[in-house]
Structure 1
Amino acid sequence: MRRVFVLTLSLALGMGLRTAHAQEKRYPIIPYPQQLVPIEGAFTITGATRLVLPANGRLFANEVAQLQALVKQGIGTTLKTATAAAGNAIVLKQDMTLSGEEDYTLQVTPQQLLIGAKSPTGFFRAIVTLRQLMPSAIEGRTTGNLRSVAIPAMRLKDNPVYSWRGMHLDVSRHFFSVSYLKKFIDLLALYKMNKLHLHLTDDQGWRIEIKKYPLLTSVGAWRELNNQDSVCMEKAKENPDMEIDQEHIIQKDGKTLYGGFYTQAQMKDIIAYAAARHVEIIPEIDMPGHMMAAIRAYPFLTCDGKSGWGKDFSTPICPCNESTFRFAEDVYSEIAALFPSKYMHLGADEVEKTSWAASPVCAEVMKANNLKSVEELQSYFVKRMEKFFHAKGKVLIGWDEILEGGISPTAILMYWRAWVPDAPVKAARHGNKVIMTPGNPLYFDAQPDRNSLGNVYHFEPVPKGLTAREARSIMGAQANIWTEYIPSEKRADYMFMPRMTALAEVLWTHKQDYDNYLQRLNEQYARLDQLGVHYRLPDLDGFTEDNVFVDKGMLEVKAPFTGMTIRYTTDGTIPGLKSPVLPAALPVTAPQTFKLAAFSPMGNRGDIYTLRYRQEAYAKAVTEKPADSGFRLDYFKGAFKTTAKIKATPDSTFRTDKVIIPEGLGHGEAFGARLQGYFYAPETGIYSFYLTCDDGGMLYIGDKTVVNNDGWHAPLQKSGQIALEKGWHPLKVDFVEGGGGYTLKLEYSVKGQPLQKL
């Protein structure tokens, strides 16, 4: 009986898993709805389908046009309208019982498709859901050639958990065309994101026309190629996506200049395009710091007429001259008139205050206003600008540095400094609204790896320490894309897609079923291909960056989804569409280097993997079990840009039972650390190690370097292999942190088994 029960249970579980996967294919919606009840059958849209509009159809004219355009992308024609539902019909019904502006319902049977919503925004969210249920073949065209389009039957009720579901794009460091901004907006709308935070100005370029100050764009929008550009050009030798978009390079007065800007007419067009898709654009003119582009054009903005770089950041504008405030108010007056959003972002982060501290004029202003520090002087600037914002009917948003020196209760705090975990808690308890944008995991300019998608999906917007009442101050979250090292539109696509889809589900649905999400995401890739999105393909598995074999190795890589092709080279060149296809199993009998890349059915290339293979014997284990358990952790105060620069003598020593940095160590300052102990290899074999670091780290086993993840960088995983005899082996991890939030994680596997922490 027991064997029969086990067999029956196993079959039931298997059938349940297959049913779940079938449902994910049938309803591959991201973000997933709050409630969805599957029903057998489907509603079929054909040229004979009728569209029944709500009584006050004019209110929903934009959404009706969007729905008609979507239908036309499928079957090649729009639908005739009718006054009542009869036969095969799509019915739009205004439902005032729904509480939220974005709430909507779908009731789909083989006879009728009923959309319910309270507002135009709700109808638009419903249309987006229908779009994701239609074949991907409808995308990237205005007129389709399908005979019909089937929508699976269901009962659905949906609403967002968070009101702020945003993306940020820095167009200052590297500039993006009007057409790309519209493509970016389309992708936000497709996944029910509703805020676009445009970072329009910084040291490297001023990107919006200000009619009263024409030099801001004629001078400030252009620069000679800088050190960030040179890094991109060097990386482009290995990755063509890192090439600078040539359309933003001009020749002027014998110089090569990079840049561009949006005219106010262009920006009005972009704003209207976003509004039609229910995306709100929030402008940021960053001040008082990050203003070198403006200062180049108008040197009077600094305290002493000089500009350059201080200890940490660029020279800021001077908050002690009335001419500065006239300039700032003039600029923001034009911004307020141009952008209909009630929000304006002042920035106010990373301000180099040394020029203020040395200024006699600032000393007088501080004395007259009883300001005790330059931090309070910054607060004085922010609060004065906030009063001006209020006079324009706008709400001020600032990066979390606006807490320093005091914050007005009406300002909104945008939290980014992960190493200051109490900032959002303090702001919420002070009564301020908070938008969460912590660098880890929501800085999408950080190089993605195999952990990035999961880290975003498991992000919790409400910080620890808040009561349920205080948590209501958390408006939501957004991911930020800083573009110092994102020089092309292809690279921008790669950096935020598909990570944005994970964030969209966190903020809309706020339910965590990661495996289910991944299944639905696999169904989205074909749609993204059709839309021309240069997304990051799923990671390839079956290897590390540094691989070893004893007698003979075997390179075996399985494509993560149907239709993906893996190609390779052995001559150091980048794999292309004409490179050979990697066989299911490729023997490795001599030291060799491979380059691999996966390609989607539409030719989108994924990451370029460089795999090095070397031959080695099994490392001998130590003969006796180590006397001490756990790891010795040496802590070194100071800033060490690589592990090789860690000083000789530790400042303190601890013991720990895991390869981790104890919480609170360093307090946001730069430091170095060294963990030493032993690793037990339970069997003789090839061991794969995965070292994730922010900033840098090195893994050594015995006298061999196994993983090199050195240097200051955002969270990034690197991997390597070593051949080990069964038994104990000396292990050392050197780690450096540049100041901020640190990450250190070491995992391993043997013989293809799941990863486990060491």
Structure 2
Amino acid sequence: MKLAKILLLFIALAIIGCAEKENPSFTRDDLVLIPKPKSLKLNSGSFEVTKSTKIVIPQDSLASVSSILNDLFKKAAGFELETSADRNSENSIQLKINSEIAKEAYTLNVTSERVVLEANSKLGFVYGMETIRQLLPKEIESASKISNIGWYIPNVEISDAPQYSYRGNMLDVSRHFFRKEYIKKHIDRLAFLKLNTFHFHLVDDQGWRIEIKKYPKLTEVGAFRGDQEDRPWNARTKNDPDAKATFGGFYTQDDIKEIVAYAQEKGIRVIPEIEMPAHVMSAIASYPWLSCTGEPIAVPSGGIWPITDIYCAGKETTFEFLEDVLTEVMKLFPGEYIHVGGDEATKTNWKTCPDCQRRIKEEGLADEDELQSYFMKRIEKFLNENNRILIGWDEILEGGLPEEATVMSWRGFEGGWEASKQGHDVIMTPTDHLYFDYYQGSPDNEPVAFNAFTSLKRVYEFRPVLDSMSVAQKKHVLGGQANLWAEYVPTEEHSEYMLFPRLAALAEVVWSPEEQLNWDDFSVRIRKMMERFEVMGINYAKSAYAVQPESDIDLETREITIKLKSEFPNTEIRYALNEEQLTAESKVYTTEIKVNADTRLKAAVFKNGKVMGAVLDKTFEFHKAVAKPVSYKYPYNQSYASTGETALVNVLKGSKYFKDGRWQGWIGNPAIVTIDLEEATNVSEVIVGSLEEQGTGIYFPQQLKVEVSKDGNHFEEVASLKRDYQTNASAKIENFKMKFDTQENIQFVRVSIEPLAKTPNGGGAWLFLDEIQVK
């Protein structure tokens, strides 16, 4: 009996021991997969990756796929998984070739004994491995060893395939040059999100970035420009062709080969863009004979508009040059596509160029638009003879589309719609959804960007096909692409900030079935994915967490109503007023806030007691001129009228975004504003709020003057302020304060604000005002 009890106790302990070793189960909330798979079933239990786990590879050509996991495990876990051909191994991640599966599709079956990944191509195996990566704990992304963690993969059954064959991202390395190492890191991240195309914008006015051995000056001269990084992009001055240029860089042909080979291992195709006939001042600076005039020019350091220095379409030497360049490019990039730009060509010089006019006559062309069409068709013919397909921006539609060209539609969806109607393949990349050089949050809290908005949600709302397309047209839509132009992106950290998390939103839209796309669901997963981005060392933007205020004033009651929201739904917003500190214990925002006196508002999104994103810090200042009648000597420009004649006395101030509806603008005239205080009042200070954004032609005033009057007829100057022009590379708001001895029984205050007489580039300067405070 005693022996039986001991045996029973031993069995019980053994059972308990087994239970303790049982792998954990997961919930759907634990699965953070972006893009969302086509179908997913979650089962109980999980598979643990250990030192003894093997990766079973069916053929040598797939051996490199194992590096997707092994590169991570070596750093984060301190061990590397052995590769094997033994399919009978239980503790294994097995890759199996399945000829029944589509090229980019895969299936993934995880049990507690093994992981089985099936695909029909290397691409499918890459995508399946990236899914396994995302199923592992986020700590797998750590650059240093993590202890006391189990590397569990939830037991799942996944069947997955992309919706669109083209899922891309463009990086502009011409406006600002990025190192080879960053490009490779970026390619890793494209693969992580199952994007499959890297569009490499190698040529533009501001820099030629690819070595061409037959034309060495393209990189000796064209890859460098004068350093004007302290100035706004669109306010930079013209460079001297004889001045030494030091700012820039380029990729050698060996660099390009390394990048392309690296991308191929990650399942990413690389499409080079060699611009023509415009955006080529870097080439013309290198070889002036490429232009119509032959005059020497310098590589510009900033924005150029209109772009008139373009390739001469009349000279045979232009086409000889381009064919030589493209021949070297095609040897470096084995893919089927070559992007040739084709956008924003101002044909002023073509109209007066004897060579271009002769070409128009000889070819029987109607005008310069048809000459551009001739240009692009001739380049397409050369590419087709070399088994390549031409891609161009949607301007290549003008004058007639090359026969087999693919159109990249950027000026909205219209170009893509028209091209697909003509039977051409289309890649959708509309500015209002997929231009990542645009702001993703309020400029008050964001780094300098192009003056437009593409929020995370706006990206997620993108759909490549239009309801108005026929079935045949829809078949020509290959997919979508996000573009990051680099005029305002000088560093790799800034580049990451503009790309993430928006790139994840695009990745899901072009991969996952449209009927599964759901912003509320995505917003939950992307917030968790941001935690993985953190471990990955990505400098991602938290802009979607920012509190977005909406305020309005009742001018009769002088009461302001404030509403708060964030881009993410169901967030916890807390706020504090005046001297209160903003903490995790502050009031939770549930309904609109009303104020009728000087108020400082601070608000932020909180999660688990921690501030997420930028803190809103806004002050509403009431003053003696609020809601008083205002008259103008020179009317404000109707394009920037704000809320009309009470805009400068309504307490509601503008942001750094000049199109926010809070700014009044003048150009060509000063702002001379008279405020009727409607009763005798003592005044001692006037404050004028102004915006400067030199890149868009908006400058702080040069001179300000305050005059007061008791009767509206006789005015006396009581204060003035002069300021000198200063270079300013970013948007800035300044309150110009003019204090003076107290003036008693004043009813009228006249403020004269003189704009900058002339911008550094010689044009007229805009003057922007949001409030005139009288105290």
- Please, what TM-score do these two structures have when normalized by structure 1? 0.71
Residue correspondence of structure 1 range 100-179 to structure 2 within 5 A: 101-141=103-143, 145=147, 148-179=150-181
Matched with 1:494 is 497
Contact between 2:223 and 2:248, CA under 8 Å: does it hold in 1? yes
Change (3 A) 1:120 1:600: farther
Change (3 A) 1:155 1:280: same
Of 43, 50, 53, 1:46 maps to: 50
The CA deviation at 1:532 is 1.4
Contact between 1:52 and 1:90, CA under 8 Å: does it hold in 2? yes
The CA deviation at 1:78 is 2.4
Of 381, 385, 389, 2:375 maps to: 381
The CA deviation at 1:269 is 1.0
Change (3 A) 1:605 1:182: farther
Change (3 A) 1:540 1:62: closer
Aligned-partner Cα distance in 1 for 2:656–2:400:
37
- Find the residue that maps to 1:315 and give its secondary structure: coil
Of 380, 384, 389, 1:390 maps to: 384
Aligned-partner Cα distance in 1 for 2:508–2:469:
22
The CA deviation at 1:102 is 1.2
1:300 aligns with 2:304: no
1:446 aligns with 2:447: no
Matched with 1:267 is 256
Consecutive unaligned residues of structure 1, counting only runs of 5 or more, are 1-21, 236-251, 572-579, 621-641, 647-670, 679-685, 714-758
- Post-superposition CA distance 1:234-289 (Å, at most 9, x none): 99xxxxxxxxxxxxxxxx99957311111111111111111111111110111110
Change (3 A) 1:218 1:543: closer
The CA deviation at 1:53 is 2.8
Matched with 1:630 is none
Matched with 1:348 is 342
Matched with 1:332 is 326
Aligned-partner Cα distance in 2 for 1:593–1:225:
41
- Find the residue that maps to 1:92 and give its secondary structure: strand
Contact between 1:292 and 1:314, CA under 8 Å: does it hold in 2? no
Contact between 2:97 and 2:118, CA under 8 Å: does it hold in 1? yes
Aligned-partner Cα distance in 2 for 1:608–1:537:
11
Of 399, 407, 423, 1:413 maps to: 407
Contact between 1:232 and 1:487, CA under 8 Å: does it hold in 2? no
The CA deviation at 1:230 is 1.0
The CA deviation at 1:344 is 0.6
The CA deviation at 1:141 is 2.3
- Find the residue that maps to 1:697 and give its secondary structure: coil
Contact between 1:557 and 1:585, CA under 8 Å: does it hold in 2? no
Residue correspondence of structure 1 range 259-658 to structure 2 within 5 A: 259-306=248-295, 312-418=306-412, 421-449=413-441, 452-509=455-512, 510=514, 511-540=516-545, 544=549, 582=583, 584-585=585-586, 591=598, 606-607=613-614, 609-615=616-622, 644-646=636-638
Aligned-partner Cα distance in 1 for 2:576–2:217:
50
Change (3 A) 1:561 1:435: closer
Residue 279 of structure 2 aligns with an amino acid whose one-letter code is H
Change (3 A) 1:397 1:253: closer
- Find the residue that maps to 1:539 and give its secondary structure: helix
Residue 87 of structure 2 aligns with an amino acid whose one-letter code is A
Contact between 1:222 and 1:260, CA under 8 Å: does it hold in 2? yes
- Find the residue that maps to 1:544 and give its secondary structure: strand
Change (3 A) 1:130 1:689: farther
Which stretch has the larger CA shift, 505-514 or 691-700?
Answer: 691-700
Contact between 2:642 and 2:662, CA under 8 Å: does it hold in 1? no
Change (3 A) 1:224 1:405: same
- Find the residue that maps to 1:644 and give its secondary structure: coil
Aligned-partner Cα distance in 1 for 2:607–2:213:
46
Residue 187 of structure 2 aligns with an amino acid whose one-letter code is I
- Find the residue that maps to 1:230 and give its secondary structure: coil
Aligned-partner Cα distance in 2 for 1:692–1:254:
35
Residue 354 of structure 2 aligns with an amino acid whose one-letter code is P
1:230 aligns with 2:224: no
- Find the residue that maps to 2:522 and give its secondary structure: helix
Contact between 1:181 and 1:270, CA under 8 Å: does it hold in 2? yes
The CA deviation at 1:610 is 4.8
Aligned-partner Cα distance in 2 for 1:564–1:260:
46
Contact between 2:34 and 2:507, CA under 8 Å: does it hold in 1? yes
The CA deviation at 1:425 is 1.7
- Post-superposition CA distance 1:380-423 (Å, at most 9, x none): 110101111112221100000000010123001000112xx432
The CA deviation at 1:497 is 0.6
The CA deviation at 1:514 is 0.9
- Post-superposition CA distance 1:546-595 (Å, at most 9, x none): 79999999999999899999999999xxxxxxxx9745328999857789
Which stretch has the larger CA shift, 75-84 or 317-326?
Answer: 75-84
Matched with 1:697 is 661
Contact between 2:455 and 2:544, CA under 8 Å: does it hold in 1? no
- Please, what TM-score do these two structures have when normalized by structure 2? 0.69
Consecutive unaligned residues of structure 2, counting only runs of 5 or more, are 1-25, 443-453, 589-594, 628-633, 665-675, 678-688, 697-775
- Find the residue that maps to 2:400 and give its secondary structure: coil
Contact between 1:553 and 1:589, CA under 8 Å: does it hold in 2? no
Aligned-partner Cα distance in 1 for 2:459–2:205:
29
Superposition CA RMSD, Å: 4.6
- Post-superposition CA distance 1:492-518 (Å, at most 9, x none): 111111000000000000332111111
Residue 368 of structure 1 aligns with an amino acid whose one-letter code is E
Q: Considering only CA atoms, is the larger Rg found in Structure 1 or Structure 2?
A: 2
- Find the residue that maps to 1:381 and give its secondary structure: helix
- Post-superposition CA distance 1:456-476 (Å, at most 9, x none): 111110134211221000000
Of 214, 219, 223, 1:212 maps to: 214
- Find the residue that maps to 1:168 and give its secondary structure: strand
Matched with 1:34 is 38
Change (3 A) 1:462 1:63: same
- Find the residue that maps to 1:460 and give its secondary structure: coil
Residue 291 of structure 1 aligns with an amino acid whose one-letter code is V
Change (3 A) 1:585 1:428: same
Aligned-partner Cα distance in 1 for 2:260–2:606:
35
Aligned-partner Cα distance in 2 for 1:515–1:673:
36
Contact between 1:643 and 1:698, CA under 8 Å: does it hold in 2? no
Contact between 1:316 and 1:351, CA under 8 Å: does it hold in 2? yes
Contact between 1:38 and 1:154, CA under 8 Å: does it hold in 2? yes
Contact between 2:202 and 2:208, CA under 8 Å: does it hold in 1? yes
Change (3 A) 1:599 1:300: farther
Aligned-partner Cα distance in 2 for 1:264–1:605:
44
Of 188, 195, 199, 2:190 maps to: 188
Aligned-partner Cα distance in 1 for 2:248–2:615:
29
Which stretch has the larger CA shift, 217-226 or 68-77?
Answer: 68-77
Change (3 A) 1:234 1:467: closer
Aligned-partner Cα distance in 2 for 1:604–1:187:
27
1:93 aligns with 2:82: no
Residue identity over aligned pairs, in percent, reads 36
The CA deviation at 1:136 is 1.5
Residue 230 of structure 1 aligns with an amino acid whose one-letter code is R
Change (3 A) 1:287 1:160: same
